[in-house]
Amino acid sequence: MGEVKLSPPWMVYFRKLEAFFMKDDDVAVTFDKDNGVIKIYVTGEAKAEAIEKLLPSHKSFGNVLIDIIVYPANTKATSKMSLLKTALEGNKAVSYTRSMSVGSLNDFNFVVFVPEVVQFYNDDLGDINGLCSTLYQDLAKDLFGEEAGIYFCTDKVE
């Protein structure tokens, strides 16, 4: 049997970010192990701003605090759905986004991802290769959090 290698939970979070943005040519995710910083390099200020507002600037893993820095970044306020649309623009993992209102009910906002399994190294002891297999919608829920009126979905297979 091969050697078992386990990574700390902040590496799992980094790998989730890296896997989520791997199809987006405008985004590169790196991890600075010496300083405990996840760095996200984004082409386009509006997109960088949207990603920065959607992700936490710090993530706590027990007694370990990891900084998350988006380059370039600035500060303009906008809704979470418009931030998602801007942040995910050009990402080939996204099939489409849609917002709709139903009568007097609140808006329903959907981010629909391509029907594809995302696989990345994740120290998964239940997998012989140490891989995690999931959907983009599940990664989005973990990375961006859940908010009323915003739903992450997977597109139907044609």
pLDDT in tens, 5-41: 788 899 999 999 999 999 999 999 999 888 889 999 9
Confirm whether 3 is domain-assigned.
Answer: no
* Residue ranges making up the domain that contains 109: 9-154
**Domain-located, residue 91:** yes
Structural contact between residues 68 and 52, judged by C-beta atoms closer than 8 angstroms: no
pLDDT digits (tens, 9 = 90+) for 37-55: 999 999 888 899 999 999 9
The model carries a pTM of 0.66
Select from 150, 3, 155 the least CA-distant residue to 81: 150
* Tally of structural domains, the chain: 1
Average pLDDT of span 113-142: 92
DSSP label of 61: E
Q: Is residue 29 part of a domain?
A: yes
pLDDT band for position 3 (cuts 50, 70, 90)? confident
Q: Bridge-partner residues for 40, per DSSP?
A: 29, 70
